[in-house]
């Protein structure tokens, strides 16, 4: 599960990111709204954690005007009823500072589960069918035998079919945020998937970036 943390206080931003990584999340961090906007435009997230008031603007207003397609947890020092209602109306959760790290992790985990449930249990791409509930993949009706990593990589690609998915993002989602993007673990899995999916080929290399899957 991948999370974007947007917080202008560097010490707090680093602490939140470290805590979430220790809890098993892949984390990107941004210090202001322009950096957050750039991150959201190039990557997919299961949850975003926004400091409510940033020097670059009000995150609540940003979410209202340019709602990212991810659940949002607002962090704020404002604890009035009106502020809480405003935050809950715009986002999915609202946490008042100071807060316990364990509560932050629990709220982020809940929002990420909600985001994950937004995908239908069965994904299709041309004659390819991926059933997350049964953990089965079929092409042209033929059941394929995939490893866990192969299934997870394929699911990431099929969920965003026709769109390029960066190798760094795939590694962070399927393996670990500390795995070197230059590692060949992803290349090995892609090669295995291409062999098992057979012809005509569906997975295409996006040179210098990552991979894309397209229906045939």
Q: Which of 1-10, 74-83, 110-119 has the highest mean pLDDT?
A: 1-10
Encode pLDDT of 128-148 as tens digits: 999 876 778 999 999 999 887
Q: Which of 50-59, 80-89, 104-113, 183-192 has the highest mean pLDDT?
A: 183-192
Q: How far is CA 152 from the centre of its chain?
A: 13
Boundaries of every domain in the chain: 2-116, 122-213
In 3D space, the residue among 199, 205, 200, 169 whose CA is nearest the CA of residue 187 turns out to be 205
Is the link from the previous residue into 203 a cis peptide, with omega within 30 of 0? no
Encode pLDDT of 163-209 as tens digits: 898 888 888 777 755 567 677 889 999 999 999 999 999 999 999 89
Encode pLDDT of 39-49 as tens digits: 887 777 888 99
Q: The domain 2-116: what is its CATH number?
A: 3.40.50.2300
Coil, strand or helix at 48: strand
Please give the biggest Cα pair distance in the chain: 60
Q: What is the DSSP letter of 173?
A: H
Strand order across the 142-144 sheet: 122-125, 128-131, 136-139, 142-144
Q: The domain 122-213: what is its CATH number?
A: 1.10.10.10
pTM for the full model?
0.54
Residue 64: per-residue pLDDT: 67
Is the link from the previous residue into 128 a cis peptide, with omega within 30 of 0? no
Residue 133: per-residue pLDDT: 66
Q: If you compute the radius of gyration of the chain from its CA atoms, what whole number of angstroms results?
A: 19
């Amino acid at each position: 599960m991948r999370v974007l943390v947007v917080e202008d206080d560097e010490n707090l931003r680093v602490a939140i990111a470290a805590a979430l990584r220790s809890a098993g999340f892949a984390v990107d961090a941004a210090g202001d709204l322009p950096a957050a906007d750039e991150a959201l435009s190039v990557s997919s997230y299961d949850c975003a954690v926004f400091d409510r008031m940033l020097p670059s603007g009000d995150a609540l207003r940003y979410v209202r005007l340019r709602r990212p397609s991810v659940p949002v947890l607002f962090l704020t020092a404002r604890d009035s009823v009106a502020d809480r209602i405003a935050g809950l109306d715009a986002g999915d959760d609202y946490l008042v500072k100071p807060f316990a790290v364990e509560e932050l992790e629990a709220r982020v985990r809940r929002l990420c589960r909600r985001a994950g449930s937004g995908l239908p249990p069965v994904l299709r791409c041309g004659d390819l069918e991926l059933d997350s509930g049964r953990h089965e993949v079929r092409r042209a009706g033929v059941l394929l035998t995939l490893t866990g990593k192969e299934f997870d990589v394929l699911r990431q690609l099929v969920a965003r079919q026709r769109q390029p998915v960066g190798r760094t993002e795939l590694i962070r989602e399927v393996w670990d945020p500390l795995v070197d993007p230059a590692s060949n673990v992803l290349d090995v899995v892609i090669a295995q998937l291409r062999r098992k999916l057979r012809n005509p080929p569906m997975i295409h290399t996006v040179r210098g970036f990552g991979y894309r899957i397209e229906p045939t």
